[in-house]
Structure 1
Amino acid sequence: MAEHLELLAEMPMVGRMSTQERLKHAQKRRAQQVKMWAQAEKEAHGKKGRREQPWKEVSGLRPRKQVLFPPSVALLEAASRNDLEEVRQFLSSGVSPNLANEDGLTALHQCCIDDFQEMAQQLLEAGADVNARDSEGWTPLHAAATCGHLHLVDLLISRGADLLAVNTDGNMPYDLCEDEQTLDCLETAMANRGITQDSIEEARAVPELCMLNDLQSLLHAGANLNDPLDHGATLLHIAAANGFSEVAALLLEQGASLSAKDHDGWEPLHAAAYWGQVHLVELLVAHGADLNGKSLVDETPLDVCGDEEVRARLLELKHKQDALLRAQGRQRSLLRRRTSSAGSRGKVVRRVSLTHRTDLYRKEHAQEAIVWQQSPLTSPEPLEDEDRQTDAELRLQPPELSPAESGAPEALVRDKAHHTLAELKRQRAAAKLQRPAPEGPETFEPGLPVDTETSQPDCGFRTTGDPPLLKLTAPSEEAPVEKRPCCLLM
């Protein structure tokens, strides 16, 4: 057998080989390995006999212990060595040619892989099943077509091999064939048997239809769809791995778990990604499968996916799912903010309506009127010096109010409401000092602003006993009024 460094040196050359050349090269290396192993076993037995001979002469003869293998293992081992005589002895002693190992591989499978035509002929004559299936649904014709062994394909077809046999990947023998002559042989045989495209599609749908019928029976019996089967896999794992869209859709409709894990911690999405079932990947993700789910060794569906096309689709679905989750998070955050705002509205100071402000102004005006009506001697609280001086000045000569002014108390209240009591007193005193009491038609000082809409006097006492109000307007920004000191109060 070649050394490790020699094998590494051959890797670039093997990478440039075609599929058929790689198979032949692997068979050659396998033959060399078996030959060297047999030689090493022969030498080991010779050395062991020489070492045991002196011991036997001293201690006497003892029965030798022998290691016995099951007939299936012995038959496959003899077939893999192409030992026709030993296989014939096994078959003549009653060993079944259909014995298989733990993977379901029979001696006929092994012959079709290793291109042992005489051995395959001998097994078929002994009654070997030409359509035997291993654990992944491969028949001997699948193996011979994949390896491109034309003469074995002819032999199996002549013995009635199923040309429409479908393995667990959904592939028929002609789907796996890359050799042109072998593929032509398969297609010719299919045409001779009258196989059409419709019959091919029907054959591909048979495994799913069988599982669908079994699922309907389980539903009628009320079985739990999430019960673990072989290796802890559920029915949804099996449907996802095989690409059975209708079965998976029915399982999801009946509430099958998307997060069920097998013994390796795989979820159904892991199985669909590993076996390259892109339609099942989309279906499971659409129903809420977790693209970030991890197995026992922290592998996500992206980690176990080997198909580049399926991997690209998984990445696209992951980006969309992440964007959707972010959008939902923003909506939930906005909803929480709205809920919090709605719950705290009682704690927020609300704006006062116009009607309420008007009522407040009227109450303030009434309070000011009460203060003005009180005499300085009976007032509960002494006024400030400037307020007493202003009162004294205003009580000297109370001017008469015009009828127009006495008829519009509400307008005066609205215009005065934003002034304080001290400011009103100062303004009235200033107006009194600047202008004498009116004796005839009222005249207005050019320096004082006047409300042109109402044409009312600036000051005066009401006949009803209310405090005198001064109707003032704010000076315009274009022509500000020059403030002149009229008395010590300003």
Structure 2
Amino acid sequence: MLKTSILVAFAFLAIAIFPLTASGQEMQEISLHAAAAKDDAAKIRELLAGSAAIDARDENGRTALLVATHGNKIQAAKALIEAGADVNAKDNIQDSPYLYAGARGHLEILKMTLEHGADLKSTNRYGGTAIIPASERGHVETVRTLVEAGTEIDHVNNLGWTALLEAIILGDGGERHQQIVRLLLAAGADPNLADREGVSPLRHARDRGFGTIETLLVAAGAR
């Protein structure tokens, strides 16, 4: 009877211990994501020295590095990247630290991802590489950085648009988008690569009244 009681006690103890262990691990990872959001590099290093898994995902599939990238938390991103965080790990909507930094113009984080194995061919949920949304949103230095990194200039996304087309179709025709068009053309973007409907970059520029961009395209051989 005593032996049975002891075995039952051990069974209850095991049941009690294992959930706590799992919960403790989970709490470490929740804390890691929280530290990333707060740009708390010291806390990140402390947690990684413990049991926190560096590429653990939250309910949205985001790693701590992607959380840091969302907030442009440079010190947190640096601590995570230097500790080996995956710069290409995608969340539930196909964003990665590299892709998100490019799309949002978070230049310092983007450069760190490029120095630590960013996959230049990786694509977002629209089938676009990082340079396409960067061009659309007018992030001049981001586009310059991605060009210099060797990104494919004429990649076509699921909408049938290149970076050049997005800079024109979704841009405002102002100075930033003019600079981006210059950068893309200088990097070898095809000025005659049309969209799915056969509408050329030049026609899109003319239809929008983007005179400077039209001049740039014509000078590059657009028809």
Native 8 Å contact 2:155 2:162 kept in 1: yes
CA contact (8 A) 2:185 2:191 kept: no
Equivalent pairs counted in the alignment come to 138
- Of 10, 29, 44 in structure 2, the residue corresponding to residue 68 of structure 1 is 29
Structure 1 position 147 matched with structure 2 position 145: no
Task: Determine which of 176, 185, 191 is the counterpart of 1:187.
Answer: 185
Question: What do the CA deviations read for 1:257-295 (whole angstroms, capped 9, x no partner)?
Answer: xxxxxxxxxxxxxxxxxxxx8xxxxxxxxxxxxxxxxxx
3-state DSSP class of the match of 1:154?
helix
SS at match of 2:187: helix
**Distance (Å, rounded) in 2 between the aligned partners of 1:116 and 1:166:** 23
Partner of 1:358: none
1:196 deviates by 6.6
Distance in 2, matches of 1:196 and 1:169, equals 18
Contact preservation (8 Å) 2:128, 2:157: yes
Aligned to 2:203: none
Specify the alignment match of 2:153 in structure 1: 163
Quick one: which of 81, 85, 90 aligns to 1:95?
A: 85
- AA aligned opposite 2:161: N
Q: Look up the match of 2:75.
A: 85
2:97 is aligned, of 104, 107, 113, to 107
Give the whole-Å Cα distance in 2 for the aligned partners of 1:166 and 1:183.
Answer: 16
The CA distance in 1 between the partners of 2:144 and 2:114, in whole Å, is 13
Aligned equivalent of 1:117: 107
> 1:268 maps to which residue?
none
Offset of 1:118 from its aligned partner? Answer: 0.9
Output the TM-score relative to the length of structure 2.
Answer: 0.55
SS at 2:144's partner residue?
Answer: helix
Instruction: Please tell me whether the aligned partners of residues 109 and 143 of structure 1 are also in contact (alpha carbons under 8 angstroms).
Output: no
Counterpart Cα distance in 1 of 2:100 and 2:191: 31
Q: Secondary structure at the match of 2:63?
A: helix
Deviation at 1:137, TM superposition (A): 0.4
**Aligned position for 1:249:** none
2 CA distance for matches of 1:173 and 1:196?
11
Q: Give structure 1 stretches of 5+ with no counterpart.
A: 1-61, 205-242, 244-276, 278-490
| Rounded Cα–Cα distance in structure 2 between residues aligned with 1:94 and 1:109 | 17
Return the match for 2:126 from 121, 136, 142: 136
Separation in structure 2 between the aligned mates of residue 196 and residue 110 of structure 1, nearest angstrom = 27
User: Any conservation in 2 of the 1:79–1:111 contact (CA below 8 Å)?
Assistant: yes
Larger radius of gyration: 1
Does structure 2 conserve the Cα–Cα contact (< 8 Å) formed by 1:82 and 1:116?
Answer: yes
Aligned identity (percent) is 20
CA distance in 2 between partners of 1:93 and 1:115 (Å): 23
| Residue-by-residue CA offset, 1:405-446 (whole Å, 9 max, x unaligned) | xxxxxxxxxxxxxxxxxxxxxxxxxxxxxxxxxxxxxxxxxx
Q: CA deviation at 1:170?
A: 0.3
C-alpha separation between the residues in 2 aligned to 1:143 and 1:132?
Answer: 13
Give unmatched runs, 5+ long, in structure 2.
1-19, 31-55, 172-176, 198-223
**Deviation digits for residues 217-243 of structure 1 (CA, Å, limit 9, x no counterpart):** xxxxxxxxxxxxxxxxxxxxxxxxxx7
CA contact (8 A) 2:136 2:163 kept: yes
* Aligned 8 A contact 2:87 2:118 in 1: yes
Aligned equivalent of 2:166: 176
Deviation for aligned residue 1:67: 6.7
C-alpha separation between the residues in 1 aligned to 2:142 and 2:191? 24
**Greater relative contact order: 1 or 2 (C-alpha under 8 angstroms, separation 6 or more)?**
2
Change (3 A) 1:77 1:144: same
C-alpha RMSD over aligned residues? 2.6
Structure 2 Cα separation of the partners of residues 85 and 125 of structure 1: 16
Give the match for residue 289 of structure 1.
Answer: none
- State the 4+ residue runs in structure 1 displaced beyond 4 angstroms: 62-65
